[in-house]
Homo-oligomer: A and B are copies of this chain.
Amino acid sequence: MALADARAGTRNEAGVAAVLGILKQAFGDRFQTGDAFRAQHAHTTTYIPSQLPDGVLFAESSDDVKAAVRACSEHKVPIIAFGTGSSLEGQINAPNGGISIDMSRMNKVLAVNAEDLDCVVEPGVTREELNVYLRDTGLFFPIDPGANASIGGMTSTRASGTNAVRYGTMKDNVLAVTAVTASGEEISTARRARKSSAGYDLTRLFVGSEGTLGILTSVTLRLQGIPQKIAGGVCAFPTIKAACDAVIMTIQMGIPVARIELLDSMQVRACNRYSGLSYPEKPTLFLEFHGTEETVPLQSAEFGEIAAECGGDEFQWTVNLEERNKLWKARHDAYWACRALAPEMAALSTDVCVPISRLAECVVETQADIEAHGLLGPIVGHAGDGNFHVLLLFDDKTPEGVAVAEAFVARLNARALSMDGTCTGEHGIGQGKMAFLEQELGGAVDLMRQIKRGLDPDGIFNPGKIFHAD
């Protein structure tokens, strides 16, 4: 990937210089301006060039966040929150320079309320850290994007993952946030009650706002009881359509499937090669059921009947932990399995989401597109949500290679939008999908701009993301 410095344009050189002085003075070694730190806080995982911030602050408390926001606010300098840097659409880039505020040291679990099935965490806690912390409570936090992302980052991109079909996305699992807003004050969007009708839903406004409205300082999360019993299984189908029909019937019948993941033939082939497996190289569903000793076999059997009706192979499932882990390791290694198909190429993970009635059509047309253009792009999908990813392998060393990738992404998004879908189910807009957001929502994007101007009049929070300010 290219490593460009912060782009010119609306850089506020005098303001940046002032803020660098203030933060250096206030934070000493916790504020870094060296190239390595700056580059590390602006890497992207796409064809978007990196755009470096001018300095990186390692925040350790809400007071640190307030001090940084006040300095940036006073001098109208961009401030960009950084969790683990695993976002996929250039969310952490600094197109006009400014300050990257690294939240990884704000990684305390502040409270676990087992009776209420909730917890309060600092935004730098990663999802895996949280689940390790919760292990002895009988509770877990279900949302699992591929990366071990931070809770703050997951909140900000409205992340989800393999089990959103059962447990929802971050929108459904964040009960409240605290955030430092443009005035430098810390606000709380909600109390800890499970539901509320008290005014505008500021919680949901911050969820998915990609750091453009303030800096999160804590997140209150809903937790789930660890299921008594878990079953996993794999089922191959003759066609994508048959697999998707099985998904639709499963959802319609109200079988509370916890995961129902679609891999296309190319993805199965990649997984077989990478992980030394021998799954039939056909469209395949990976499933998981959460329940009790009694209900998990019932759910699994019900799905088996549906699969048979849709022309699927025999559905084999297991409650054995080792076998389940092996199965899901193959799914979770999908990204690396793809990369191994052509190690000399770069990989781009892009996502769209359509109504599930259109999923088969959208996937099949996308496969045809990939073949027609001579591309390599295995497909994995959170089929229960109608959400799928293409892991496009492309040449990032030449402008032509990048152009091929960009054109593919544009066609994929146009296709999803034409099917009443969205340009992103879980990766967010960042810089990479701004044009598609306009195509998707048209005039509604103006409402977003009005909100942004109201809450962040000087445009200091993560500028140049989601939409252009005017």
Interface positions of A (Cβ within 8 A of B): 113-118, 138, 157-160, 164, 168-169, 171-172, 181, 185, 187-202, 204-205, 207-209, 224-225, 227-228, 248, 251-254, 256, 290, 292, 294-295, 298, 353-357, 385-387, 417, 420-429, 433, 436-437, 440-448, 450-451, 453-455, 466-467
Contact = CB atoms under 8 A, between A and B. Distances in A.
Contact of A467 (B196, B199, B448): B199
Q: Which 9 A-B pairs have the closest CB atoms?
A: A204-B204, A454-B454, A450-B454, A115-B357, A196-B422, A193-B353, A116-B355, A158-B197, A187-B444
Contacts of A451: 200, 205, 451, 454-455
Given A198-B433, A201-B205, 6 more contacts: A115-B356, A187-B442, A194-B353, A194-B386, A228-B254, A451-B455
> Which one of A169, A198, A426, A445 has the greatest number of beta carbons of chain B within 10 Å?
A198
Nearest to A169: B195
B437 A386 contact: no
Contacts of A467: 199
B455 A198 contact: no
Contacts of A193: 353-355, 385-387, 420-422, 425
A196 B424 contact: yes
Contacts of A387: 193-195
B191 A357 contact: no
Nearest to A434: B199
Quickly give the copy total for this chain.
Answer: 2
Contacts of A447: 181, 187, 200, 202, 455
10 contacts: A115-B356, A157-B197, A158-B196, A187-B442, A187-B444, A195-B422, A197-B426, A198-B423, A202-B441, A204-B204
A197 B432 CA distance: 13
A116 B252 CA distance: 8
Contacts of A353: 193-196
Contacts of A118: 355
Nearest to A427: B197
Contacts of A191: 417, 420-422, 440
A245 to B, nearest CB: 9
A292 B294 CA distance: 13
Contacts of A224: 254
Contact of A425 (B116, B197, B421): B197
A152 to B, nearest CB: 15
A19 to B, nearest CB: 24
A311 B306 CA distance: 42
A444 B116 contact: no
Nearest to A251: B117
A253 B293 CA distance: 13
Contacts of A168: 172
Contacts of A116: 355-357, 386
B192 A115 contact: no
Contacts of A357: 113, 115-116
B450 A455 contact: yes
B442 A197 contact: no
Contacts of A202: 441, 444, 447-448
Given A252-B115, A453-B454, A195 B164 contact: yes
Nearest to A358: B116
